Amino acid sequence: MHKIKVEDKEFEIFLENDTLNKRIRLLGIQINVDYEGKCPLFIGVLNGSFLFMADLIKEIDVPCEVAFMRVASYEGTSSSGKVKELIGLPENIEGRDIIIIEDIVDTGLTLSHIIKTLKEQKPASIKASALLLKPSALKHEIEELEYVGFEIPNEFVVGYGLDYNGLGRNLTDIYRATEG
Ligand code: IMP
């Protein structure tokens, strides 16, 4: 088993880049079908979504725009439960078809907060895509979460944009924390 260390923590290989890309290609096809004739605005939630956004957007062939925003709400390996300020929210999303791009949905607090805030600006529609979802950690049902890459167990993962204490975002594959 391919193991790595990020700072003080040991991780083992979980989802290889090839597996990620195959799934992302399918998500792209689904979005292309659903948004035919429209011009969606993809809003990536930084920092974790940057690689997922880059790969997903290359699969999109309807006209589209891309923006990024930021939320600071997470430290270490367990969700703090507190959503802080949303930074860099795009202006003028009234009447737009919005697709929020998240790296991972854990409790769902971050994404539901973003959706609630964006809805105040009256977009025509709002959907979300997350590369990873931990269904057993979910505390907030999110009906807008339409495009999920992989449902995973409630384990801490790192790589492909996801970090552990700021590190590991550059890893091409996704790794999960080994026990102990
Ligand atoms: P939520 O608000 O609990 O859904 O947390 C969402 C955010 O927590 C994600 O955007 C990530 O930044 C972070 N997060 C949750 N689980 C993990 C993980 O396993 N690895 C790295 N970051 C995570």
For 17-151, CATH number? 3.40.50.2020
> What is the tens place of the pLDDT at every residue in 27-67?
999 999 999 999 999 999 999 999 999 999 999 999 999 99
Residue nearest to atom 10 of ligand 1 (CA): 104
Active site residue 163: no
- Closest atom of ligand 1 to 45 CA is 10
Hey, which of 9, 79, 142, 170 would you mutate to test ligand 1's pocket, going by the most ligand atoms within 8 Å of its Cβ? 79
Using pLDDT thresholds of 50, 70 and 90, give the confidence band for residue 126.
very high
**For residues 141, 145, 146 and 151, what is the CA-based torsion angle, rounded to 10 degrees?**
-80
Closest residue by Cα to atom 8, ligand 1, is 74
Q: Is 109 in the pocket of ligand 1 (CB under 6 A)?
A: yes
The H-assigned helical ranges of 17-173 are 17-34, 50-57, 109-119
Top-confidence residue, 80 or 24? 24
Q: What is the pTM of this model?
A: 0.94
From the number of C-beta atoms within 10 Å of its C-beta (0-12, 13-18, 19+), residue 164 rates as buried
- pLDDT at position 86 is 86
